Copies of this chain bind each other. A is one copy, B any other.
Amino acid sequence: MRAAPLQFWPPTGGRQAQAGSAGASLLFAGLSEEQFTCATSCLGIQAFSFEKDEQVLACQGARPHYGVLVSGTGFDVRQHPNGDQTLVDVIEPGDLFGEGWQPRAWAAPEVPRERAVIGATAGTVLLLDPARLSDPTVACPAKAIVHTNLLNSVLHKQERLRTKLEILRHRSLRGRIANYLLVESQRRGKSQFTIPLSRGELAQYLHADRAAVSRELARMKHDGMIDYHRNAFALRDEQAVATASE
């Protein structure tokens, strides 16, 4: 990961519903360009670029950081000792990540931590030091705003985790897939959309087998519910998809 030029991140409005869409970051919402520039020095915000499959942030890092994705896509993954990993969440531009990582990693830096954020594509991030944010001696006009935004960002992330739990509640694979496609369609606001996951990654996200996902997708296409090719999906019978996800 290499340092990258730091430029003004356009904060738009601050409506939580808009968070996650490209061009908006809930964490820096409501900041003027002047305040943002101030924050970069006061709060030690730095920009970095990363490559695909590169580890963007890990528990084993020198110290915990908050990150905001500027461009590209990231995966919030959990790696297990036996080699396989689960995909907890997809991180898109504007999203916060790395929140809540306790500095317990300090204790055992030699153990490769099981939690990490890796690059799904190449991209850039902003990293900021939570210690600077909670340090009372740091007086910055932007700090209060960022602090409030941070709470909203964390709540937004929690909402995403609850959405994933909602997807995972289905006992049938068809229900999980239908729910995922419905959520993804609503997020994009279209019935035709492309997903940021490959088949194998989708299986990891749905906690299922890749072959089984392919098989069930083929069945759903055969039943006329959906259509797809690679990462491009279309909801043919939206009502049927909604019914399948109960």
Contacts and interface: CB of A to CB of B under 8 A. Distances in A.
A246 interface: yes
A155 interface: yes
Nearest to A144: B136
Interface in A167-223: 168-169, 171, 207-209
Nearest to A89: B165
Contact of A161 (B80, B134, B162, B169): B162
Contacts of A159: 100
A99 interface: yes
Given A165-B161, A246-B82, A171 B207 contact: yes
A148 interface: yes
Interface residues of A, number: 32
A78 interface: yes
A102 B19 CA distance: 14
Contact of A169 (B16, B86, B151, B171): B86
A158 interface: yes
Contact of A164 (B151, B154, B165): B165
Nearest to A154: B154
Nearest to A204: B169
Contacts of A45: none
A238 interface: no
A16 B157 CA distance: 20
A86 to B, nearest CB: 5
Contacts of A168: 165, 168, 207
A166 B86 CA distance: 9
A5 interface: no
A240 to B, nearest CB: 16
